[in-house]
């Protein structure tokens, strides 16, 4: 169970980082909605699971947080990518692409060439 | 790696300011929900629906918070902190409970700490000598009885020269020496050692040098090493002491060294050290005198068994070639064992006893925690209902009990610090190395370990029980929630049973010790202690013995010492308030100091020495028998007319008459206390003639038995009397110059001490007097070890019974509270007070009876370990067992009766309304 959660945490972390890279500083709710939209509503996550992920990324130094005011004037905590985070996005992306490429070969084998 | 560290640092940081962070998270989640609700409203939902949808999507606020917190700090550490905080609040909220628990634990753990520090010092810590594991105690033993005998100098020199397994072999014996000149004359306990002694132990002197092999050559032997204590006390720590001349036993000695402080050896209170040396024709250096003990140091890589074989090879050779020492062999053991031989068993028994006390304390604590666990069932149920796991709750309960036990352990340690000092005072004369007993790191670790184990032991079962509960039941009904399940009650009853059983074992042990000490003190020792004062006078032979005459075995050699004691006793007798004054060379209870062989002339002479009958020998002067109230059964006591010139006479004890004369009247029989030449080995006789030590016409003195005295216990209260011969000092001092005065007075015996000393000073102003004690004090000191054992074991037993009573009382009170409603119903239905009382008592009765039965069985098995410590009491002494069962039953009964009586006072109306 812990393993699956870890994998999910890892994936989620990359989604969060990627979202922040694309959108700039954003609060938790915004990140959650954005991930949901991007995944084309295929991914129905509990928004609650996002917060421990955010905390972990912050502890690892990839993101920073700051209180601010949202579009519709609500006080909210905004997360922003740090430079270490930006680097991490690239590494993780490359890593992810490699993994998926490998997996793809397994999952949909093409004709022998 | 760096990243890991950073993460952990942040997580650790997350442990602090927990509340602020919690608030921040709450705000963040709040904002999240609000934004979501706003969005939902915008998309056309009703407010209710919008809110529900947002919450659902988040997945529960509390769950989110919990997960977030796990990530934020270090969960287990965080929980531990929280549990400790919670436990502390809980402790503070019920100070009574906390106080009882802490006291129980402090006593239990404190007592264990004290006993462990004793064990640690006496049995575990290495001796304070270099590489002490290789040090040996070498003992000559009687083959049949395996009893320690002493070694003669010629044997020692042979062993030392010819052994192949020891780096060092050294001998020692003690004698008091008179130190005179300058200040008051003083009698100084002195250790006489072969020169290698201090290097064997690995003790270099603090000043000057140690002994060297030249020091044992007669003529260059007059050198001495002082103890640190004597150096400071008598010589003001004079740093120029080395090289100074002292007068010891009337001869000039040179100080060559001073020992470091804290040097101790076998608890021998030696303050001066001189090398062992014998004049060329000294009779001491022969096979007629056995007075040496030996220590040795193993060669590296040699085992004790090899050393024993090696030394026995030498010993057997001496037996075969010289026809001496027949029936003896050599035992080799670690020096430490020889040191603690007498107390090892006692110390281990007491350690076991104190562990029992702690077990009882644990049972009590477990009981208290169980009771509290029952009260807290609602709390447990609520927490389980809102999602706490059982493991999590067990951990919290354990944290509480460990916290309690650690606090109790800390208190116990404080107690131990105080108690160790008290124990030192109590046991100085009883315990070897007791001056070293203190609380050291090993003890600290022990205490901490005991505290932790105690906490877990006490807490685990109650904790498991507390969480093994049906949530729904407990939540449903508040009042019933506090009622016990069957299993829980049985567990508590079992704990009480165990407590009763354990305390019974302890009490029986203590009871046996008490009876044993009582027996010892009431044994007929054969003498009276009332109003008798004793003191030791050790005349220096150089001054009081004509050594030239003595060498020729002339009785005239002791003229001066005979006159000295005659003068002193005459003067002492004239002191007002003195009834009788006498002297003897070894007081009752001091140990069997002088064995000889008796020759009977009413039967044929045996072929050799081995056929002679062993006796104890004492020389007496003045009215010794009257002063100590020793009855003369037949014949007469010695008188002033039994002088050197008068016919030689002896008095024998009844044991001798029983053993060697079949209880026939011995008056008028002729005996000797030295063997005639014809039964000595030829080689020895020739050698003695050659060295002119014995005249060719030598015959031992013949004595007429003129009296039979009652048996007196010279060897100690627990030893039976041996056959013994008394001879008048004037007729047969046999080289004795060390005597004890015994003075019977009219009133307070110590009142005449001043006058006695003054008279002695008038006879010889340089003669010191030592060891001034009433006979009563000597008797009391002779039983100090059993007495200390009795007191300590008694104290443990008292603790045990107290704790057990508290335990029973607690459980019964609780049971009564539990059954209040039942009792109320019974009473409402017409049950009388008597029936209610019986109902409750029966419950207690079962527990107590079971406990007593188990305890009796346990005691039967366990008291066996006391066997060597008891005197005159069997380990299953029925009267002691019976008395203890009565005592414990009575105590248990009271502890049951008090709560039971409360049960009869239950008002049915109140009890039922409670529902």
pLDDT digits (tens, 9 = 90+) for B287-304: 767 788 899 999 998 899
The DSSP output letter for B648 is P
Q: Is A34 on the interface with B (CB under 8 A)?
A: no
User: Do residue B29 and residue A51 have CB atoms under 8 angstroms apart?
Assistant: yes
Question: Which of A49-58, B206-215, B329-338, B363-372 is the most confident on average?
Answer: B206-215
Both tokens of B655, joined, read: 């044991």
Question: Which of A27, A46, A58 is the closest to B58 by Cβ?
Answer: A46
* Whole-number average pLDDT of chain A: 80
In 3D space, the residue among B616, B607, B614 whose CA is nearest the CA of residue B681 turns out to be B607
Q: Which of B6, B29, B34 sits opposite A74 (nearest CB)?
A: B34
| Residues contacting residue B655 through CB under 8 Å, at least 6 positions apart | B711, B720, B721, B722, B723, B724
- pLDDT tens-digit readout, B518-566: 888 788 888 888 899 999 998 887 788 887 777 777 778 888 899 999 9
Cβ atoms of residues B624 and B584 within 8 Å: yes
How many angstroms away from the CA of B25 is the closest CA of chain A? 9
Complex ipTM over 0.90 = no
Closest CA to A58 of B24, B79, B55, B31: B24
pLDDT the model gives residue B744: 94
**Tokens of residue B461, six digits:** 């079962």
For residue B128, CA distances in Å to B125, B304, B343, B345 come to 9, 20, 19, 22
Q: Does A6 touch chain B (CB under 8 A)?
A: no
The span from the CA of A77 to the CA of B31, in Å, is 8
Q: Are the C-beta atoms of residues B445 and B116 closer than 8 Å to each other? A: no
Domains of chain A: 2-104 (1.10.10.10)
Supply B621's token pair: 């002067």
CB B547 within 8 A of CB B557: yes
Element (H, E) at B672: strand B670-672
Backbone phi, psi, residue B655, to 5°: -60, -40
Structure tokens at B421: 């000092």
Q: Is A48 on the interface with B (CB under 8 A)?
A: yes
The verdict on a CB contact (< 8 Å) between A70 and B31 is yes
Q: Which residues pair with B170 in a beta bridge?
A: B295
Average pLDDT over chain B reads 82
Residue B770's H or E segment, with its range, is strand B770-774
- Whether residue B312 is predicted with pLDDT greater than 50 in this model: the reply is yes
Radius of gyration of chain B (CA): 39
B23 touches chain A (CB under 8 A): no
| Number of A–B residue contacts, CB under 8 Å | 73
B66 and A CB contact within 8 Å: no
Residue with tokens 């009219």: B746
Residue B693: its pLDDT value, please? 66
pLDDT reading at B267 higher than 80 = no
DSSP B527-588: S--TTEEEEEEE--HHHHS-HHHHHTT-GGGGHHHHHHHHHHHHHHHTSTTEEEEEEESS-T
3-state DSSP assignment of residue B773: strand
CB B222 within 8 A of CB B276: no
Contact A46 B57 (CB under 8 A): yes
Cβ(B23)–Cβ(B32) below 8 Å:
no
Q: Is the pLDDT of residue B480 over 50?
A: no
What whole-number distance in Å separates Cα of residue A82 and Cα of residue B3? Answer: 15
- With CB atoms and an 8 Å threshold, state whether A27 touches B64: no
- CA B100 vs CA B88, B107, B368, B806: distances in Å: 15, 11, 9, 10
Test B3 with A49 for CB contact under 8 angstroms.
Answer: no
Pick the residue with more confidence: A63 or B63? A63
User: Under DSSP, is residue B743 helix (H, G, I), strand (E, B) or coil?
Assistant: strand
Residue B814 has pLDDT above 80, yes or no: no
In terms of DSSP H, where are the helices of B633-774? 654-660, 682-690, 729-732, 753-763
- Output the six-digit token pair for B167: 């780096």
**pLDDT tens-digit series, residues B78-136:** 677 777 787 778 777 777 777 877 888 888 888 888 888 888 877 777 777 878 888 88
Is the pLDDT assigned to residue B176 strictly greater than 50? yes
Q: What is the pLDDT of residue B680?
A: 77
Interval B10-21 mean pLDDT: 70
CA–CA dist A47, B489 (Å, integer): 49
Pairwise CB contact (< 8 Å): A46 & B31 = no
- B70 φψ region: left (φ > 0), alpha (ψ -120 to 50), beta (else): alpha
CA atoms within 13 A on the CB side of B858: 21
What DSSP line would sit under B580-633, residue for residue? EEEEESS-TTS----EEEEEESSSPPPSSGGGSEEEEEEEEEESHHHHTT--EE
Longest Cα–Cα distance of chain B, Å, equals 142
Pairing of strands B724-728, B613-622: parallel
Report the C-alpha gap between B711 and B782 in whole angstroms: 18
Cα separation, B515 vs A28, whole angstroms: 82
Helix (H, G, I), strand (E, B) or coil at B681: coil
Q: Does B762 touch chain A (CB under 8 A)?
A: no
pLDDT digits (tens, 9 = 90+) for B718-744: 888 889 999 999 988 777 888 999 999
- C-alpha to C-alpha distance for A68 and A58, rounded to whole angstroms: 17
| Rounded Cα–Cα distance for residues B431 and B435 (Å) | 9
HSE at residue B340, side-chain half, CA atoms within 13 A, is 20
Backbone angles phi, psi at B875, to 5 degrees: -70, -10
CB B504 within 8 A of CB B859: yes
What are the residues facing B617 on neighbouring strands?
B725
Q: How is the beta sheet containing A26-27 ordered, strand by strand?
A: A26-27, A75-81, A63-69
pLDDT at residue A113, as a whole number: 43
E strands, B158-250, are 166-180, 186-193, 207-208, 223-226, 245-248
Query: Is B68–A51 a contact, with Cβ atoms under 8 angstroms apart?
Result: yes
Q: Which residues of chain B does A75 touch, with a Cβ-Cβ cutoff of 8 Å?
A: 27, 31
- Of B620, B603, B738, the closest CA to residue B669 belongs to B603
Nearest to A46 among B35, B59, B72 (CB): B59
Q: Cα separation of B514 and B870, whole Å?
A: 9
Strand segments (E) across B414-525: none
**Cα of B61 to nearest chain A Cα, Å:** 8
User: Which pLDDT belongs to residue B423?
Assistant: 67
Residue B225, both tokens: 């090493």
What tokens were used for B90? 């809980």
d(CA A90, CA A93): 5
CB B798, CB B804: distance < 8 Å: no
- Tell me whether B75 touches chain A (CB under 8 Å): no
DSSP result, B323-338? --STTEEEEEEEHHHH
Pairing between β-strand B703-709 and β-strand B670-672 as defined by DSSP bridges? antiparallel
Q: Contact, B822 vs B910, CB < 8 A? A: no
Q: Which chain A residues are closer than 8 Å to B30 by Cβ?
A: none
Q: Which residue of A has its CA nearest to B37?
A: A29
Contact criterion met (CB below 8 Å) for B628 and B753: no
Question: Mean pLDDT of successive 10-residue segments in chain A (113 residues)?
Answer: 52 86 88 82 74 85 86 84 88 86 78 47
Q: Give the chain B residue whose CA is nearest to the CA of A76.
A: B31
Record: contact B28-A55, CB cut-off 8 A? no
Residues in CB range of B588: below 8 A, 6 or more apart: B525, B526, B527, B628, B712, B713, B714, B778
Q: Do residues B588 and B527 lie in contact, with contact meaning Cβ atoms separated by under 8 Å?
A: yes
What is the structure's pLDDT at B469? 64
Burial (Cβ within 10 Å: 0-12, 13-18, ≥19) of residue B41: middle
The sign of the torsion formed by the CA atoms of B278, B299, B272, B437 equals: negative
Nearest to A29 among B7, B11, B36 (CB): B36
Interface test with B, best of A27, A35, A49, A59 (most B CBs within 10 A): A59
Closest by CA to B647, choosing from B693, B582, B701, is B701
Distance from CA of B51 to the nearest CA of A (A): 14
Statement: residue B358 has pLDDT above 80:
yes
Q: Taking CB atoms and an 8 Å limit, are A72 and B35 in contact across chains?
A: yes
> Two tokens at B731?
């007729």
Tell me which chain B residue has its CA closest to the CA of residue A51: B68
pLDDT value of position B556: 81
The answer to whether the CB atoms of A47 and B6 lie below 8 A apart is no
Q: Specify whether the CB–CB gap between B215 and B221 falls below 8 A.
A: yes
> In chain B, what percentage of residues exceed pLDDT 70?
92
Q: Provide CB contacts within 8 A for B69, sequence distance 6+.
A: B22, B75, B78
pLDDT at residue B475, rounded to an integer? 59
CB A72 within 8 A of CB B38: yes
Residue listed under structure tokens 């877990």: B456
Contact B671, B702 (CB under 8 A): yes
| Cβ <8 Å between B28 and A77 | yes
Angstrom distance (rounded) from CA B881 to CA B900: 28
Please tell me the predicted confidence (pLDDT) of residue B1: 61
């Amino acid at each position: 169970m812990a393993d699956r959660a870890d994998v999910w945490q890892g994936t989620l972390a990359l989604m969060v980082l990627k979202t922040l890279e694309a959108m700039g500083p954003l609060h938790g709710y915004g990140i959650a909605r954005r991930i949901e939209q991007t995944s084309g509503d295929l991914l129905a996550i509990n928004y609650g699971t996002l917060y421990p992920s955010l905390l972990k990324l912050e502890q690892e130094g990839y993101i920073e947080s700051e209180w601010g005011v949202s579009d519709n004037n609500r006080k909210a905590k905004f997360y922003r990518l740090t430079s270490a985070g930006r680097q991490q996005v690239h590494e993780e992306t490359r890593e992810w692409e490699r993994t998926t490429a490998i997996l793809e070969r397994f999952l949909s084998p093409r004709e022998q060439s | 790696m760096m990243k890991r560290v950073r993460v952990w640092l942040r997580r650790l940081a997350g442990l602090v300011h927990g509340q602020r962070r919690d608030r921040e998270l709450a705000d963040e989640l709040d904002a999240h929900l609000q934004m979501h609700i706003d969005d939902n409203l915008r998309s056309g939902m009703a407010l209710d629906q919008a809110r529900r949808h947002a919450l659902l999507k988040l997945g529960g606020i509390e769950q989110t918070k919990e997960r977030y917190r796990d990530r934020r700090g270090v969960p287990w550490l965080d929980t531990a902190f929280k549990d400790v905080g919670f436990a502390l609040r809980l402790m503070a909220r019920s100070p009574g409970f906390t106080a009882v628990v802490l006291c129980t634990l402090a006593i239990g753990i404190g007592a264990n700490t004290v006993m462990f520090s004793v064990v640690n010092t006496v049995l575990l810590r290495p001796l304070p000598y270099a590489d002490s594991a290789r040090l040996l105690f070498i003992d000559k033993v009687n083959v049949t009885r395996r009893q320690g005998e002493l070694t003669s100098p010629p044997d020692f020199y042979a062993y030392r020269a010819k052994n192949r397994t020891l780096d060092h072999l050294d001998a020692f014996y003690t004698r008091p020496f008179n130190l005179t000149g300058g200040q008051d004359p003083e009698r100084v306990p002195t250790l006489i050692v072969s020169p290698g002694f201090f290097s064997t132990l690995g003790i270099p002197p603090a000043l000057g040098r140690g002994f060297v092999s030249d020091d044992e050559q007669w003529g260059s032997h007059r050198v001495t090493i002082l103890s640190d204590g004597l150096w400071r006390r008598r010589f003001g720590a004079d740093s120029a002491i080395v090289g100074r001349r002292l007068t010891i036993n009337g001869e000039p000695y040179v100080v060559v060294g001073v020992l470091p402080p804290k040097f101790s050896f076998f608890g021998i209170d030696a303050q001066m050290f001189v090398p062992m040396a014998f004049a060329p024709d000294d009779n001491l250096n022969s096979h007629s005198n056995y007075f040496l003990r030996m220590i040795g140091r193993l060669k590296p890589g040699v085992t004790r068994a090899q050393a024993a074989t090696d030394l026995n090879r030498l010993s057997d050779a001496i037996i075969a070639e010289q026809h001496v020492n027949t029936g003896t062999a050599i035992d080799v053991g670690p020096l430490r064992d020889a040191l603690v031989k007498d107390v090892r068993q006692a110390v281990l028994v007491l350690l076991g006893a104190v562990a029992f006390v702690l077990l009882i304390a644990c049972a009590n604590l477990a009981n208290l925690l169980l009771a509290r666990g029952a009260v807290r069932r609602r709390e447990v149920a609520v927490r389980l209902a809102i999602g706490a796991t059982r493991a999590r709750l067990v951990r919290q309960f354990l944290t509480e009990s460990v916290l309690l036990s650690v606090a109790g352990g800390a208190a116990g340690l404080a107690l131990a610090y105080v108690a160790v000092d008290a124990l030192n005072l109590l046991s100085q004369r009883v315990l070897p190395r007791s001056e070293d007993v203190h609380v050291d790191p090993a003890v600290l670790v022990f205490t901490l370990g005991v505290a932790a184990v105690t906490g877990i032991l006490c807490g685990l079962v109650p904790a498991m029980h507390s969480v093994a509960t049906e949530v729904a039941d407990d939540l449903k009904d508040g009042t019933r929630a506090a009622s016990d399940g069957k299993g829980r009650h049985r567990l508590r009853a079992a704990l009480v049973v165990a407590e009763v059983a354990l305390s019974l074992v302890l009490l029986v042990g203590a009871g046996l010790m008490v009876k044993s000490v009582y027996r010892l003190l009431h044994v007929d020792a054969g003498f009276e202690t009332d109003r008798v004062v004793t003191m030791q006078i050790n005349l220096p032979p150089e001054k009081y013995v004509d050594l030239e005459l003595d060498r020729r075995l002339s009785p005239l050699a002791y003229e001066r010492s005979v006159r000295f004691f005659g003068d002193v006793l005459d003067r002492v007798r004239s002191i007002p308030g003195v009834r009788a004054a006498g002297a003897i060379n070894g007081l009752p209870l001091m140990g069997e100091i002088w064995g000889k062989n008796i020759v009977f002339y009413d039967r044929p002479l045996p072929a050799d020495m081995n056929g002679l009958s062993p006796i104890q020998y004492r020389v007496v002067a003045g009215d010794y028998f009257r002063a100590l109230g020793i009855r003369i059964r037949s014949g007469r006591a010695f008188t002033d007319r039994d002088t050197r010139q008068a016919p030689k006479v002896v008095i024998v004890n009844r044991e001798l008459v029983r053993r060697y004369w079949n209880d026939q009247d011995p008056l008028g029989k002729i005996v000797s206390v030295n063997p005639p030449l014809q039964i000595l080995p030829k080689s020895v006789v020739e050698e003695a003639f050659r060295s002119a030590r014995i005249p060719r016409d030598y015959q031992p003195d013949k004595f007429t038995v003129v009296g039979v005295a009652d048996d007196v216990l010279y060897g100690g209260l627990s030893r039976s009397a041996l056959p013994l011969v008394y001879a008048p000092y004037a007729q047969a001092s046999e080289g004795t110059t060390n005597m004890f005065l015994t003075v019977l007075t009219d009133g307070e015996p110590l009142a005449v001490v001043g006058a006695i000393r003054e008279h002695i000073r008038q006879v010889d102003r340089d003669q010191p007097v030592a060891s001034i004690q009433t006979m009563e004090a000597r008797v009391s000191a002779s039983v100090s070890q059993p007495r200390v054992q009795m007191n300590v074991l008694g104290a443990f037993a008292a603790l045990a019974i107290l704790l057990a009573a508290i335990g029973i009382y607690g459980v019964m009170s609780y049971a009564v509270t539990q059954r209040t409603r039942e009792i109320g119903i019974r009473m409402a239905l017409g049950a009388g007070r008597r029936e209610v009382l019986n109902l409750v008592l029966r419950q207690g009765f079962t527990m107590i009876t079971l406990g007593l039965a188990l305890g009796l069985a346990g005691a039967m098995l366990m008291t066996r370990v006391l066997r060597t410590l008891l005197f005159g009491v069997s380990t299953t002494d029925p009267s002691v067992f019976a008395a203890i069962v009565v005592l414990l039953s009575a105590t248990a009964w009271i502890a049951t009766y008090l709560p039971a009586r409360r049960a009869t006072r239950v008002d049915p109306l109140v009890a039922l309304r409670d529902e």
